[in-house]
């Protein structure tokens, strides 16, 4: 008979509780640890082993490198991510043996054009790094082909 009173009591109790709404532009949400946002790339750590590019399921990572003829070591020329297709799985972070790529906590990534979502090394610099560490390619691979536009794969449409 007094079931309605029970309902009203519950509503009245909730009425004076603290609101759950996060006032987003003024108040930023608490990002949990281990959450994967846009990458941070450390050009000084990268050894150009190509592990991240091989493990990437959507093939967005491009590592351009050349081999030093004297020391026989790989030298990084450029590192880019086509972020529009990236699914933020974090496999690249797992595969990297030297922690050169890390998933960050950046999520405000909306843009007016698809071209703006092409991530260069400058865009992926971690906080506190200056642009001096960015690698400007000197190798043959960098100067040679237009690696930024991959050849179209054959897909049966």
Partner 1 sequence: MAVEQRPGAGTAVEVREVPSLMTEEEQTLHKNVFLTTIDAVTGWGRAHSIWPLTFGLACCAIEMMAVGGAHHDFDRFGVIFRPSPRQADLMIVSGTVTKKMAPLLRRLYDQMPAPKWVISMGSCSTCGGPYYEAYSVLKGVDQIVPVDIYVPGCPPRPEALMYGVMKLQEKIMDESMPDWLRKRVKR
Contacting positions for partner 1 (CB under 8 A): 20-25, 28-29, 57-58, 83-89, 107-114, 116-117, 153, 155-157
- Kindly state the smallest distance separating residue 114's Cβ from partner 1, in Å: 6
- Does residue 15 sit in helix, strand or coil? helix
Pairing relationship of beta strands 74-82 and 61-67 according to DSSP bridges: antiparallel
Is-contact 100 124, C-beta < 8 A?
A: no
- Kindly state the smallest distance separating residue 116's Cβ from partner 1, in Å: 8
- Kindly state the smallest distance separating residue 88's Cβ from partner 1, in Å: 6
Is-contact 10 2, C-beta < 8 A?
A: no
Toward partner 1, which CB reaches closer, 2 or 112?
A: 112
User: Residue 36: which of 82, 110, 86, 96 has the closest Cα?
Assistant: 86
Toward partner 1, which CB reaches closer, 23 or 71?
A: 23
Toward partner 1, which CB reaches closer, 50 or 84?
A: 84
- Kindly state the smallest distance separating residue 27's Cβ from partner 1, in Å: 10
Toward partner 1, which CB reaches closer, 75 or 88?
A: 88
Residue appearing with tokens 């991240």: 52
């Amino acid at each position: 008979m007094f079931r309605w009173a029970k309902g009203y009591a519950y509503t009245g109790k909730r009425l004076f509780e603290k609101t759950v709404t996060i006032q987003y532009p003024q108040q930023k949400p608490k990002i949990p640890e281990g959450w994967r946002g846009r990458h941070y790339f450390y050009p000084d750590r990268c050894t150009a082993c190509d592990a991240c590019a091989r493990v990437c399921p959507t093939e967005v990572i491009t590592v351009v490198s050349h081999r030093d003829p004297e020391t026989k070591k790989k030298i990084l020329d450029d590192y880019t991510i086509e972020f529009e297709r990236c699914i933020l799985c974090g496999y690249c972070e797992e595969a990297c043996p030297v922690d050169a790529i890390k998933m960050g906590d950046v999520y405000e990534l909306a843009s007016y054009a698809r071209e703006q979502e092409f991530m260069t090394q400058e865009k992926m610099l971690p906080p506190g790094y200056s642009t001096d560490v960015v690698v400007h390619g000197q190798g043959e691979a960098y100067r040679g082909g237009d690696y930024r536009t991959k050849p179209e794969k054959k897909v049966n449409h």
